[in-house]
């Protein structure tokens, strides 16, 4: 959990860092945000929250304040969080090693128990507490709450044996999303914080990739934006250069030649599906940059990679 009373230079930084900025420049920055505040007022913005932004104290505190600001100026942020490093740490303490196939965690029964208490407990409550600490009103949800995420067992295609399927344990794919509970919270000025845990018709819990959940929730809520926070500047080409704009065709080519692989596969697939399903813009941004969320939503600067459906 965060030490909310930690009196570090980093956490005092926002006021201190701006102390030397001319008032006229501050006013100019605020004025630049106005068209975007007007454009996105009342619109839903789904944020996939993960990577360093979830583990570095300075970035965690900055993210909490940024989400509150979006809510206060009339937008409807919905946060879907990951927690891979936290799950790995918990497994390590038990003497277990996390294993992955094509970016998906193999989840046996014991691992699923860890996933539930780390994501639905520790990580989710950390985010909720930080937002509430800074004056927001956050509420944590899992797929069980209000029947939010109905899931079924996922079988993974075996790339080495075409036609064969791999059993990766209690990993789920989404059957249906019931947005009623999220909409009710938004209408009451709350910020929903969603853990990517789904439940089958038999009550079995499933670990679902957070990128998939964020993409599907953005589709169902008809979000204006889906913003995925990562530990890289965006999608990189084979030379390691940032690609600022990607179409569906270009993404298919990058899948085929292996430019996009591993943990980026579910992320880009979800982003593309969301773009094809009516989410206005989908962005993959670098969560290691402080206030990257505000930079994406409230400034003209092209930031990260934007994904288009055509």
* Alpha-carbon span 28 to 30, nearest angstrom: 5
- Binding site membership: which residues? 83-84, 105, 207
CA atoms within 13 A of residue 21's CA, in its CB half-sphere: 12
The Cβ of residue 149 has, within 10 Å, a number of other Cβ atoms equal to 27
Handedness of CA 60, 66, 69, 74 (dihedral sign): negative
Among 182, 188, 190, 177, smallest CA distance to 128 is for: 190
> DSSP state, 145?
G
* Cβ-Cβ contacts under 8 Å for 163 (sequence gap 6 or more): none
Write b or e for each residue in 131-147: b if 16 or more Cβ atoms lie within 10 A of its Cβ, otherwise e.
bbebebebbbbbbbbee
* Alpha-carbon span 284 to 33, nearest angstrom: 20
* Alpha-carbon span 165 to 150, nearest angstrom: 22
255 token code pair: 């899948």
Give the angle subtended at the CA of 218 by the CAs of 233 and 285, to the nearest 5°: 5
212 token code pair: 């998939």
- Phi, psi dihedral angles at 250 (to 5 degrees): -65, -35
Among 248, 177, 186, 181, smallest CA distance to 215 is for: 177
- Binding site membership for substrate: which residues? 83-84, 105, 207
SS3 state at 14: helix
44 token code pair: 């839903």
């Amino acid at each position: 959990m965060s030490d909310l009373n930690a009196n570090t230079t980093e956490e005092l930084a926002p006021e201190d860092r701006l102390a030397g900025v001319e008032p006229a420049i501050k006013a100019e920055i605020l004025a630049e945000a106005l068209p975007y505040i007007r454009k996105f007022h009342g619109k839903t913005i789904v944020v996939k929250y993960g990577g360093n932004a979830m583990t570095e104290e300075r970035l965690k505190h900055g993210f909490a304040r940024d989400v509150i600001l979006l809510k206060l100026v009339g937008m409807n942020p919905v946060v879907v969080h990951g927690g891979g490093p936290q799950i790995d740490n918990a497994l390590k303490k038990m003497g277990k090693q996390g294993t992955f196939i094509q970016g998906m965690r193999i989840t046996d029964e014991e691992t699923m128990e860890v996933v539930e208490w780390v994501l639905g407990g520790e990580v989710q409550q950390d985010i909720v507490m930080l937002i509430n600490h800074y004056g927001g009103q956050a509420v944590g949800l899992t797929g069980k709450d209000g029947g939010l995420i109905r899931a079924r067992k996922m079988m993974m295609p075996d790339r080495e044996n075409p036609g064969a399927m791999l059993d990766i344990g209690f990993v789920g794919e989404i059957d249906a999303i019931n947005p009623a509970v999220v909409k009710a919270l938004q209408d009451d000025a709350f910020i929903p914080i969603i853990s990517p845990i789904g439940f089958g018709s038999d009550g079995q819990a499933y670990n679902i990739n957070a990128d998939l959940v964020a993409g599907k929730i953005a589709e169902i809520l008809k979000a204006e934006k889906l913003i995925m926070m990562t530990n890289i500047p965006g999608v990189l080409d084979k030379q390691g250069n940032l690609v600022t704009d990607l179409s569906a065709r270009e993404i298919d080519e990058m899948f085929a030649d292996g430019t996009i692989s591993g943990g980026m596969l579910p992320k880009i697939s979800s982003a593309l599906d969301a773009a094809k399903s009516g989410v206005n813009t989908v962005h993959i941004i670098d969560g290691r940059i402080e206030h990257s969320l505000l930079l994406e939503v409230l400034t003209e600067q092209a930031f990260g990679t934007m994904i288009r459906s055509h």
